[in-house]
Chain A
Amino acid sequence: MTTRSRLTIAAHVVFIVAFIGLWELASSHDLLDRTFFGRPSGIALFLWKGFVTDGKLWLELGYTLFGAAVSFLAGSIAAVSVGLLFMVVPRFHRAAEPYLTLLNAMPRIALAPLFLLWFGLGVGSKIAVGCSLTFFIVLSATVAGIRGVNSDHTILSRALGASQRQVFFKVTLPSAVPVIFSGLRLGLIFALLGVVGAELIAAEHGLGQTLAYLQSTFSMDGVMGLLFLLALLGLGVTALMNRLERSLLAWQ
């Protein structure tokens, strides 16, 4: 590690410690209303209790992560398949495009009440919301990736005698992978967002549901703790995808 990056890390640590310290100080001296802002020691206590002492948050986290994972997998598999189908049948693509644009323009979270009615209070409705977000993001990335194929590569391959199938597997698909991958990265974040959003509206379990409950009972330490947790989760997901991308797409 260079001196420079070590200094940067030290600066971040100082900033964070100062920020938390000031917050704690302000709330303990009643300069900051604890009912609205919580206090760092309370937040830490909440998270400690939730994950260590009684461990109740693990279950909620599990529900949310399960919902997000299923939404992501189902949504992106469907999206990549539809994207590939569009490539094979361009007429279908042209016909479907206006409807897809319309659906995509709809605020998906507003559909959550409808999905709750259709799929119930359980994880099904959460997956529906997550899926509907992931699907469109990954679909547009897939279409863009396939469109972006370098025509030199296809011309050369055809001139060398490649069949349609060979062009697809050896040129079109690998060249679309980076673009599809960036869609997947965004799709995973949005799957999480969709699931938590739907849980906030109505659910039996999940971090979103817990958040809504804590909010309605004015336990700000809990709300802040969960927001912090969700932010960390999003960060973790992005880091995971970046890592995966670097190892899978070393040629970039």
Chain B
Amino acid sequence: MQNLAVPAVALERDNAPDAHAIELRDLTVRFGTGTGSVLAVDRVSFSLAPGEFVSLVGPSGCGKTTILNLLTGLLTDRPEGDVRVLGKSPSAGNPDIAYMLARDSLLPWRTALGNAVYGMEIRGVPRSKCEEQAMMLLQRVGLGDFADKYPKALSHGMRQRCALARTFALQSPVFLMDEPFGALDAQTKLQLEDVLMDLWSANKRTVVFVTHDLAEAVALSDRVIVMSARPGRIVADVRIELPRPRNVRALQKDTTFHKLYARLWSLLEQGMSSHDH
């Protein structure tokens, strides 16, 4: 039960003035040492307000995933600069954070329900509570009838829905998502983005969403941070003034959406060629 108390604590902290859910100040990450070292992230600073949905976009190798791994505490190289998640230094297994990857990484020997409870189980949430919560979320993502199916019987889209249920079942106030829909086809992706929006609006978490897909970033986010090619620097930090709640599929026909998309695309292009100057 202890873990379930986390969001409440986090909310109290969020109410404090100037509280950032996530804060990066002059973050510099270098892989390796000496002459062979590679500068992956160069003096990146940004912060997220509690409940804010922010996407990181940029060309491959711009350090998006590095920043995410740093926030999860999985990065072993010591970075320069200051990183805070809910006021604390990142550490692996921080219950404030839920993490989602591009590949669903469902455990094939567990049913959809077994996978949906997995995160909670690891965090020591009591079994009955886990299952109740997981079942509710499976229904929300449209997998209610598939709770006892093994991943091999589920399609890509269904597996990623199950991963969404596993992530949202964790009561973590901060979500880190690394291209969670990157491996899906275009239609399934739009559906899953709507499922994500639905879950997120019902229970707002602070989300850092890494993606290659600019349209996805614009459709989902409050802000889109555009990064340059390696070494990763921030090229632009654009607020997305689209009203909420959003319907991602409806947005595909929205002119404001397309204008924002075009603007961000030109910024991204600048970023891709920035290292030539």
Contacts and interface: CB of A to CB of B under 8 A. Distances in A.
B119 interface: yes
A160 B1 CA distance: 16
A251 interface: yes
B95 interface: yes
Interface string B83-116: 0000000001111011101010101111100000
Nearest to B176: A159
B101 A156 contact: yes
Contacts of B73: 159
A162 B101 contact: no
Contacts, number: 62
A115 to B, nearest CB: 39
B16 interface: no
Q: Which secondary structure dominates where chain A touches chain B?
A: helix
Nearest to A171: B107
B105 A150 contact: yes
A156 B109 contact: no
Contacts of B170: 160
Contact of B122 (A160, A175, A249): A160
Interface string A155-193: 111111110001000110011010000000000000000
B92 A152 contact: no
B72 A170 contact: no
B205 to A, nearest CB: 15
B257 interface: no
Of the candidates A155, A171, A249, A251, the one having the most CB atoms from chain B within 10 angstroms of its own CB is A251
Nearest to B123: A161
Given A153-B107, A162-B93, A252 B123 contact: no
B74 A170 contact: no
Interface of A: 150, 152-153, 155-162, 166, 170-171, 174-175, 177, 249-252
Interface of B: 72-74, 92-95, 97-99, 101, 103, 105, 107-111, 118-119, 121-123, 150-152, 170
